[in-house]
Amino acid sequence: MKLKNKIAIITGGAMGNGLGIAKVFLKEGAKVAILDYDDKLTETVQNLNQNNNVLGYKVDIRNMNNVKEAIQDIYDKWGNIDILVNNAGVCKLKPFMEMDDDLRDFHFDINIKGTWNVTKATIPYMKQGSIINLSSVTGPLVADSGEVAYATTKAALIGFTKGLAAELVNQNIRVNAIMPGYIMTPMVSGMAKESNETNPQSVVDGIAKAIPMKRLGTIEELGNLAAFLASDESSYITAQGIVIDGGSTLPETMTMGV
């Protein structure tokens, strides 16, 4: 087990990509503390917890005091922090000229400032280890209409990853980013429903058709990548953004080719 006896914090771990990461981390021997604001947190912790290896904290990562209290409690209970996965994030589609400042700030406050808060609160408790930021292919590589706020925040996380990696390398803390394409998560399901309330599955099917692998990724597949980046197997990798997208950013166009 590549994460045996490691202590991991995962934000937004109650569902979606965070849940997939938590499942794989537990399978690989880690203890997992989940920070999430969703009411599903309690159910997730109950379902995952075996041998007292899962903790859950209902935390709004925009609130630094709440974040600090949770991190301190994790350290007090388990005595160490080896891994931080900044997974929590939001995406609300809206054309740029129709997006008000509140919705813009909702993205910035959670996706950027929330990641900043949790990272800053956690680093003092890390003697060494791995920080993994969930960016996206959206922003750094591609974008669709309505994604300006989301794309901006996810591109910012690549800069955050590189700058932080440069500062922490001498502390034996590696910092990398995962850049997912379409993974089958509640966020994707919600976006599909917003696009077509009567037949959201047709939206998902259309997305899959445009991906070279002809399917969306699973949360466990993303979890496997996170486990690799969290483990000593990736000990010479830092400051990188790793794409996991089934080849969705590969096609030059969707209308040419043989």
Q: Is the dihedral of CA 42, 127, 68, 130 positive or negative?
A: negative
Active centre residues (catalytic): 150
**224 touches 158 (CB < 8 A):** no
CA separation, residue 219 to residues 130, 153, 182 (Å) = 20, 21, 10
